[in-house]
Amino acid sequence: MVEKQQKKEEYAQIVKSTGLLGGVQGITLFVSLVKNKVIAVLLGTSGIGLISVLNSIITMVGSFTNIGISSSAVREVAEVIDQKDNLQLVIKKVRNWSALTAIIGTLIGLISAPLLSVLTFNNYDYTFSLMMLSPVIGLTSFSGGELALLKGIRRLNQIALISIYGSILVICISIPLYCWLGMEGIVSSLLFSAIAMACLTAHYSFKYMPLKISDYSFVYLRKGSNLIKLGISMVFAAILGSLVEYIIRLIMLKSGDTSMVGLYNAGYAIVVTYAGLIFVAMSTDYFPRLSAVNRDTKQMMILINRQIEITLLLITPVVVILVLFSPLIIPLLYADSFLPVVGMIQFASLNLLLRAFIWPIEYAALAKGDSLLYLFQEFSYNVFFVLVFLLGYDFFEIKGAGLALSVSAIFNLIVVSLVGYFRYGYIISKEVFNIVLLIIPFYVSAIIIILLNISGILYWGISSICVISCLSLSLYLLNKSTDIIPVLFNKILKKK
């Protein structure tokens, strides 16, 4: 009985943290959608394509220089959260390395601007723009370090506020610049948005972990070797990931123009970024909890399976909605000119579903500090994705890009599952298997509805029944695990 109650409490903790951060991500998503809608109308597919290319360059250079601090710091802080002296030491190490990587990142961004302009656009026209964006690399490294500290000490409310206020600040900065300058406002928007986010993150981080100038010393850089060990592997993984995204956009630029990149970015944003906010919300709480029990492999495996259960129940209805209602969603989020991306979203939907299994298992290597193993998982996925993308895009263009995402996810799941089994003894639990049997048929039904090629009232009627049924079953199973419905009703009644 006690074990059953403890199990329910653990499920409730997962849902609670997801509810807080997922609700925040929902607000963030809404603000981002408003911004993207305005950009789509003002700048079109070419504008979104250019923003995507510039962001991929910033991310790629940042990956080379930030040594994975934003991820490795979370694990380090989570392990010493109850040890005051050790916690203060870790905070100093993180801040020193964040400052160093921010400076190096900015300098490398400045120096490499001419080369990146030629490689990307076949001319030097964007050299000055890329030089102007180099501080964004440094500001992002700084923000990542401070945010990692907040994640490590489990300040979820503050992380939520940063996300909400940051989204509002970005839209307040971006839209006036795009209205005033059009395409010329892209660089200014990215730069001022990065400054605003750095200031906001610093405000909340310094409030709980005050900054002293005396904390900056080469002594703490030398003591930060344990951060760097895990961080270096994360750097290579991040470099590979951002390099792959850059290469893909480069391929599309060479074979088409920024419009095709804009379409790909819109589809990728919906499937991987927007829908993936559920994963972002969960990982903020999940990774520190997993790191806290990293010396107890059995407890880690239990935690992984429970995370998969909740993630599946939350993500499956989202995937079904995307598959069936993307013809309505795309014009609402962007513009009619983005409708060709519907096929990509439908083909890529399996990627989103399989990530419910992949990322909870994949995080085990990070929590254990098995940096090379984590790097192997990321390396194998990214290399495979590029190869499949080249084939898919060559034969099916934008739909092929979606197909490549799903095929790569199948490959990634196989690799991660094998690593999990042979390294940590991970085996899928009976509860996860039962949920798969109950809820996955709804995804299969959605695919069948698409393949039947029906239209009109019949299509929307059958699609609505499928979505409502999937949502109902997910909610029922969530309530069975967490008693979430009585809790919600009690909160509503208390407010009244």
Q: How does pLDDT run across 329-342, given as a tens digit for each residue? A: 888 877 777 888 88
Q: How does pLDDT run across 220-257, given as a tens digit for each residue? A: 677 666 666 666 666 677 777 778 887 888 888 777 66
Q: How does pLDDT run across 72-128, given as a tens digit for each residue? A: 777 777 777 767 767 778 788 888 888 888 999 999 999 999 998 888 888 888 899
**Residue partners of 473: CB distance under 8 A and separation at least 6:** 438, 439, 442
Q: How does pLDDT run across 34-55, given as a tens digit for each residue? A: 777 777 778 877 787 788 788 8
The mean pLDDT of 382-398, rounded to a whole number, is 88
485 band by pLDDT with thresholds 50, 70 and 90: low
Q: What is the pLDDT of residue 2?
A: 45
The mean pLDDT of 440-462, rounded to a whole number, is 90
Q: What is the pLDDT of residue 233?
A: 66
Of the listed ranges 94-108, 115-129, 155-169, 177-191, the least confidently predicted one is 155-169
pLDDT of residue 324 exceeding 90: yes
Domain ranges of the chain: 2-495
Picking from 323, 327, 328, 335, the residue whose alpha carbon sits closest to that of residue 271 is 323
146 band by pLDDT with thresholds 50, 70 and 90: confident
The mean pLDDT of 307-322, rounded to a whole number, is 88
- 3-class DSSP assignment, residue 339: coil
Cβ-contact 407, 388 below 8 angstroms? yes
Picking from 252, 372, 360, the residue whose alpha carbon sits closest to that of residue 315 is 360
Residue, of 293 and 473, whose pLDDT is higher: 473
Q: How far apart are CA 186 and CA 471, in angstroms?
A: 39
Alpha helices, DSSP H, located in 272-370: 277-292, 297-333, 341-368
